[in-house]
Amino acid sequence: MFFGNSQPESGDTKWRRQLDKFVKANQQELAALFWGLWLANGDSQGTVGIDLQPTPHFVYCPKEQIENLNNRVENRLQEILGIVENHKPEVEVVMIGIGKGEIKLIQFAPEPAPPICFEQVGKDVDGLLEVLEQRMSEYFSS
């Protein structure tokens, strides 16, 4: 019995797999960015998002917009809303990936914790945004 996906990957799902790989390869920097933005704004701006269109960049996803989207899709995002509402920023990173008219939850608990990642990386938020957006551009263009 085979458990692999025998069908070719569609472009609609490829972005999700690429995003997972990007997040895994850049966990420390993403955790540092997440913490730096949390220190600056808390959750007043919304949840940090990675928007892949037209070119990969970081955005804020205001809670009201996520709630409105949830209402339009018959509450299928209720679990995401619960995770966003109840996450602990000092121990886990929660972001939203946006691509191809879909969203994907990004959630991980880095080692070390986000505050320590921010200290260890040694860059400010603007420097982290610049580095990560450049890496995303290179990563998602290939």
Give, in degrees to the nearest 5, the angle at Cα 115 between 111 and 119: 95
CA atoms of 19 and 114, how far apart (whole Å): 19
**Cα–Cα nearest to 93, from 76, 103, 105:** 105
pLDDT of residue 77: 87
Residue type, 102: E
Give the chain's residues under pLDDT 70: 1-12, 142
Other CB atoms within a 10 A radius of the CB of residue 46 amount to 17
Can you give the pTM of this predicted structure? 0.87
pLDDT of residue 4: 42
Length of the chain: 142
Counting DSSP H helices and E strands in the chain, the numbers are 6, 4
pLDDT of residue 106: 96
pLDDT of residue 11: 57
CA atoms of 95 and 78, how far apart (whole Å): 15
Question: Looking up tokens 């220190």, which residue turns up?
Answer: 39
Question: Looking up tokens 């995003």, which residue turns up?
Answer: 19
pLDDT of residue 50: 96
pLDDT of residue 142: 66
